Amino acid sequence: MKAIVISRLGGPEVLEVRDVPDPETSAAGRELVEVQAGGLNFADLMAVQGGYPGTPKPPLVSGREFCGVREGDRQRVMGYTQWGAFAERVAARSELLWAVPENWTVEEGAAFPVNYFTAYFAYWKAGLVGDPMSTVHTSPRVLIHVVAGGVGTAAVQIGKLLGVEMYGTSSSDAKLARVKGLGLQHGINYKQRDYEEAVKELTHGKGVDAVFEMLGGEHTAKSVRCLGDFGRVIVYGSATGQKPELDTRLLYAKGASVHGLWLTYLSANHELMKNAWTQLSTWTSQGHLHPVIGDVLPMERAAEAYRLLSEGKNFGKVVLKIT
């Protein structure tokens, strides 16, 4: 079968379309899926560079999420795996395969698993689903970094359903305008103004209840400074490639906290994933959730797709067509 292979560590140029052996399905609980499309994530960029924990040494097949047809019953499914998704076939864990909504394209299916489970768990970690945090105002406030990206657009759709007042950062007024169409109330162009100052001004000094932080470096501390009393920063990535900077003494004055979110770890908790899917699938069946697709490229242009994401030129999801 053909697959997108990380030939060695480096940049997008190390990606190659190669013939590789079919995946093994002998392991219990694994099912074979004929892949039609795969969704690209920041974790895939990190894997190419050698910065994603637990990734085997190259050469290996790239990709974490996919959409296709299950070989056993020919049902359309979307799924999540640690690697190996960007191939004509993948052997996936049964509990991490979900039925694709009937009216969705394969591109939409490929854009769902990582973004929507991550966004849902961010709200869950922030205490805004299941056991809502007590706030002094009617609508909880959330700051979403890279709001025009895959997780960002998913978080806006979910936040709208939860009645959240959302603040989002992006590098482009045009992108912010499009995300406002999804339900974002407050857009902040971080190239034009400091988002910390903008949040302070927009909330009249009160701050937000949660920040969804995936930038790393100085932004971890800046995000904490955007919080109000007892707020929470949910850290789920480091897109800048910089180690998060945080003096924990900054947390004391507000009773604030920082929480980690790693879908790789959470995906092993079957009950947690099942509960999340119960809610996500309900919203999906009601027509509330729609993956935002930015660019769709053939697998032969994988390097170009990775560059789009690494350079922040995408809006919504970058998807690779596999077959």
Segment 95-115 mean pLDDT: 97
User: Rounded mean pLDDT of the chain?
Assistant: 94
Confidence of residue 134 (pLDDT cuts 50, 70, 90): very low
Residue 308 phi, psi dihedral angles, 5° rounding? -55, -45
**Residue 130 pLDDT:** 67
pLDDT at 132 over 50: no
Segment 168-172 mean pLDDT: 96
- Lowest average pLDDT, out of 29-38, 215-224, 233-242, goes to 233-242
pLDDT at 135 over 50: no
C-alpha to C-alpha distance for 250 and 257, rounded to whole angstroms: 10
**Residue 136 pLDDT:** 43
The 10s digit of each residue's pLDDT in 181-200 is 999 999 999 999 999 999 99
pLDDT at 58 over 90: yes
Percentage of the residues of the chain whose pLDDT score is greater than 70:
97
Segment 46-64 mean pLDDT: 93
Confidence of residue 27 (pLDDT cuts 50, 70, 90): confident
pLDDT at 2 over 60: yes
In what helix (H) or strand (E) does residue 188 lie, and over which residues does it extend? strand 186-189
Q: Which residues pair with 293 in a beta bridge?
A: 317
Residue 239, classed as helix, strand or coil, is coil
Q: Is 139 exposed, middle or buried (0-12, 13-18, 19+ CB in 10 A)?
A: middle
Question: Crossing angle, helix 150-162 and helix 113-125, to 10 degrees?
Answer: 50
**Residue 51 pLDDT:** 87
Confidence of residue 241 (pLDDT cuts 50, 70, 90): confident
pTM over 0.85: yes
